[in-house]
Every structure is written in structure tokens, then in C-alpha cells.
Amino acid sequence: MPYEVEKSDEQWREELSPQEYAVLREAGTERPFVGEYTDTKTTGVYSCRACDAELFRSDTKFESHCGWPSFYDPADSAAVELIEDRSMGAVRTEVRCAKCGSHLGHVFEGEGYGTPTDQRYCINSISLRLAPQE
């Protein structure tokens, strides 16, 4: 699928740190409980670290105690792309940035969290950049 932001692997490698590249462009996962936004309660907007597209807002962030930032809804449903992921011996739903195709994490449903959508967008901190509200 063509994305609004298209870059070569070389360009992505120049712009992203090795850790950012591994997660955003190679669908890696950062270790649990180490990301800078896991426990953040700052009010603001979370954007894609690769292209700055607005993805999530702090008012949909909740404590899931899973080790990664969790949101119950994207800022706009068109901001993310959901893709079936059959890696790791299970069927999951991968979440990508709809603007640049970068890997963000996965979304899970029916886990019993008391959220309006019953969804948990489990997102790598390294895929995000928080702009605090002033």
C-alpha cells in the first residue's frame, strides 16, 4: 500500500536511531516496562516518531500494567492501519501508522479493561513522541 510518507530504507536508517528503526521499520518490540511513556500521565498528543502524524491523545491512555503504553482508541480511526499478524504462532492485529506505515504495536480486544471500547492499543514508547499540552 502506498503511504503519504514514502522513504527508502537508507533514508529511514539515516533519520532513525538503530532502536527506533528496529521497532518502527522492522516491526520489533521494545522490552516491557522500559519505555519512556509506559507510566507517563502527562496531558498531550502522541505522534508517530517517524513522521509526526497524530496517533493518540493522553485522554485515551490508561494503566493496563502490561509494560507498554496502552490506549483505548486512536485520535482518529484513519490515523492507524490495522493488519492481521500471524507471526509468533498466534493471530494478532498489528497497528501501523497510516501515514508512513511504521509499526506501532498491536491492538487487543475483550480483555475486560473498563474502557469505552474494550480495546487495548499496546504501543511501543519508542514508536511515539509526546507533545505535552501547554
Cell triple for residue 99? Answer: 501515514
What are the phi and psi torsion angles at 66 (to 5°)?
A: -95, -10
Range list of β-strands (E), 1-134: 44-48, 54-57, 61-62, 70-71, 80-85, 92-97, 103-109, 119-123, 128-132
Report d(CA 101, CA 42) in Å as an integer.
26
What are the phi and psi torsion angles at 92 (to 5°)?
A: -130, 175
Report d(CA 75, CA 61) in Å as an integer.
11
Query: Is residue 100 flagged as an active site residue?
Result: no
User: What three-state secondary structure class fits 60?
Assistant: helix
Catalytic residue (one of 48, 51, 97, 122): 122
| Residues that are catalytic | 122
